[in-house]
């Protein structure tokens, strides 16, 4: 009979509010902490056979201090927070969960675009602050807005999330084109274009590629200058794909109409981040890395972690 593993979730704060979270008790002797400092890992996971981490780094030093460790589960898609060489040296599998947040990220992508492009936060405030009540006309707006049908929606990275965004944009009547970082064609009804054409002709540029040596700082000031002055940039992928200081500068210079960003190079956002110094704030919508976090997506994530524990134990 296989012994019940001791499982420690080191940084469970983003999942522990869900009813599904309690199911982790069914697969082992389970303990969770909302947050764990790196110095606390050796004590908290001292005799754990399975550890679960979301963002907390599992370094070679940490792995060396956990003699009972047999499995590392990452409650995310990326596993760059784990030292894979150190895990391989001990024959410890590292399991992630892929595809759980596709619909959630795609949903916020379109929502964020419409919010910034239609100036919705400002219009909402006009009603609440009494400006609309004092208006002489029945309607009011600050910036004209356009319909998405007939506009070109350019997607950088056509993986699962990129394809779902493409489907939603196409449902609105947009012309979807995409740029493949690898240069590969996908079996999709959308045209592949080079980055230059995508940037210069798209009304919306939406980023959905992974962060890698090929994509780090892919979009800097030169690329933003090549976009239409009426175009919007949406980044729901990784902050490092965009040169953040350059985007802040381009927003204030009105090189593009606006942007919506959900991910940042450093998270949480530092007080001195360039985005927070933008003068034209109505043209830059910022959300706190929340695109992945619908209730359904987080529930699928827990289910995936449970399956990884069952398969790896």
On whether the CB atoms of residues 87 and 69 are closer than 8 A, the answer is: no
Its pTM surpasses 0.85: yes
Name which of 204, 260, 252 is nearest 227 in CA terms: 204
Read off the pLDDT of each residue in 153-164 and give the average, rounded to a whole number: 97
| The pLDDT of residue 184 | 87
| CATH number for region 6-99+295-312 | 3.40.50.720
Best CA proximity match to 258, nearest among 280, 238, 242: 280
Domain ranges for the chain, please list them.
Answer: 6-99+295-312, 102-286
The model's pLDDT over 75-125, given as tens digits with 9 standing for 90+, comes to 999 899 999 999 999 999 999 999 999 999 999 999 999 999 999 999 999
pLDDT value of residue 167: 98
- Annotated catalytic residue within 37, 61, 88, 267: 267
289 included as an active-site residue:
yes
The pLDDT score that the predictor gives to residue 1 is 45
Residue 2 has pLDDT above 80, yes or no: no
Q: How far apart are CA 128 and CA 115, in angstroms?
A: 17
Q: % helix / strand / coil in the chain, to the nearest 5? A: 35, 15, 50
Mean pLDDT of the 247-274 span: 97
Regarding the domain delimited by 102-286, which CATH topology (the fold level of the hierarchy) does it fall under?
A: Rossmann fold (3.40.50)
Mean pLDDT of the chain: 96
Task: Give mean pLDDT, residues 33-52.
Answer: 97
Catalytic residue among 95, 238, 273, 298: 238
Note whether 6-99+295-312 and 102-286 share their fold: yes
Residue 311 belongs to what H/E stretch? helix 295-312
Asked if the model's pLDDT at residue 164 lies above 50, the reply is yes
Tell me the per-residue pLDDT of 212-244, one tens digit each, with 9 for 90 and over: 999 999 999 999 999 999 999 999 999 999 999
Among candidate residues 309, 137, 127, 157, the one with its CA nearest the CA of residue 236: 157
pLDDT class of 39 with cuts at 50, 70, 90: very high
Q: Is 146 a catalytic residue?
A: no
Asked if pLDDT for residue 270 goes beyond 60, the answer is yes
Our answer to whether residue 143 is catalytic in this structure is no
* pLDDT level of residue 165 (50, 70, 90 thresholds): very high
Decide if pLDDT at 45 tops 60: yes
Confidence of residue 3 (pLDDT cuts 50, 70, 90): confident
Q: Which of 44, 122, 249, 289 is catalytic?
A: 289
Residue 178 — very low, low, confident or very high, per pLDDT cuts 50/70/90?
very high
Of residues 223, 270, 269, the one with CA closest to residue 242: 223
- Tens-digit pLDDT profile for residues 285-299: 999 999 999 999 999
């Amino acid at each position: 009979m296989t012994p019940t593993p001791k499982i420690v979730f080191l940084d469970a704060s983003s999942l522990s509010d869900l009813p599904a979270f309690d199911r982790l008790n069914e697969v082992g002797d389970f303990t969770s902490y909302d947050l764990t400092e790196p110095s606390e890992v050796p004590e908290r996971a001292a005799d754990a056979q399975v550890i679960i981490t979301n963002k907390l780094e599992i370094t070679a030093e940490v792995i060396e201090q956990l003699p009972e460790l047999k499995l590392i589960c990452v409650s995310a898609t990326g596993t760059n927070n784990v030292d894979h060489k150190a895990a391989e040296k001990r024959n410890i599998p590292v399991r992630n969960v892929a595809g759980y947040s596709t619909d959630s990220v795609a949903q916020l992508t379109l929502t964020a675009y419409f919010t910034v492009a239609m100036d919705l936060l400002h219009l909402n405030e006009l009603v609440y602050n009494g400006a609309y009540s004092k208006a002489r006309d029945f309607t009011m707006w600050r910036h004209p807005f356009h319909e998405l049908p007939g506009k070109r929606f350019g997607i950088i990275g056509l993986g699962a999330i990129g394809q779902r965004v493409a489907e939603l944009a196409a449902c609105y009547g947009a012309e979807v084109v995409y740029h493949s970082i690898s240069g590969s064609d996908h079996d999709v009804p959308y045209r592949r274009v080079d980055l230059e054409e995508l940037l210069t002709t798209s009304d919306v540029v939406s980023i959905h590629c992974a962060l890698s040596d090929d994509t780090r700082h892919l979009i800097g000031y030169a690329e933003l200058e090549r976009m239409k002055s009426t175009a919007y940039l949406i980044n729901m992928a990784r902050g490092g794909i965009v040169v953040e200081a350059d985007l802040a500068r381009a927003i204030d210079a009105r090189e593009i109409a606006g942007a919506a960003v959900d991910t940042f190079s450093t998270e949480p956002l530092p007080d001195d981040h360039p985005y927070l110094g933008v003068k034209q704030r109505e043209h830059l919508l910022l959300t706190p890395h929340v695109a992945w976090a619908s209730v359904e997506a987080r529930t699928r994530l827990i289910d995936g972690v449970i399956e990884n524990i069952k398969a790896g134990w």
